[in-house]
């Protein structure tokens, strides 16, 4: 499964900027990969693990702004069409980077 997070956070006041940077840093440290600016994705083993990740996202989210989460299967994710641009091939964006403990 693939978890995709879309967010639009306020960035006007100093506290808002700190909240934005803190949330973005959390996403990166938790293993999310940037697809586009303010769009991140992460691989999940199953829907139960995806729900745990979403619950953790809720607890780490700032109070202001808009954050949306979409969970899709790897088959659906693989059908992304690139109209302009190409995928970043420097990042391993498959289940190859998934470590099962």
Burial 73-83 (b: 16+ CB within 10 A, else e): eeeeeeeeeee
Residue 48: which domain range?
Answer: 2-97
| Phi, then psi, of 85 in degrees rounded to 5 | 95, 180
pTM: 0.82
Q: Report how many domains make up the chain.
A: 1
Closest CA to 30 of 71, 65, 60: 60
Angstrom distance (rounded) from CA 65 to CA 51: 21
CATH number of the domain at 87, please: 3.30.70.240
pLDDT tens profile 39-78: 999 999 999 999 999 999 999 999 999 999 999 999 999 8
Using pLDDT thresholds of 50, 70 and 90, give the confidence band for residue 93. Answer: low
Angstrom distance (rounded) from CA 95 to CA 101: 14
C-beta of residue 5 within 8 angstroms of C-beta of residue 55: no
Angstrom distance (rounded) from CA 89 to CA 101: 26
């Amino acid at each position: 499964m693939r978890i995709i997070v879309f967010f639009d956070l306020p960035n006007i006041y100093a506290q808002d900027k700190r909240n934005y940077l803190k949330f973005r840093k959390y996403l990166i440290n938790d293993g999310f990969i940037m697809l586009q600016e303010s769009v991140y994705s992460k691989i999940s083993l199953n829907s139960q693990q995806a729900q745990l990740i979403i619950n953790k996202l809720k607890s780490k989210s700032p109070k202001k702004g808009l954050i949306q989460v979409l969970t899709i299967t790897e088959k659906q994710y693989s059908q992304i069409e690139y109209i302009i641009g190409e995928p970043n091939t420097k990042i391993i964006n498959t289940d190859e980077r998934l470590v099962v403990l």
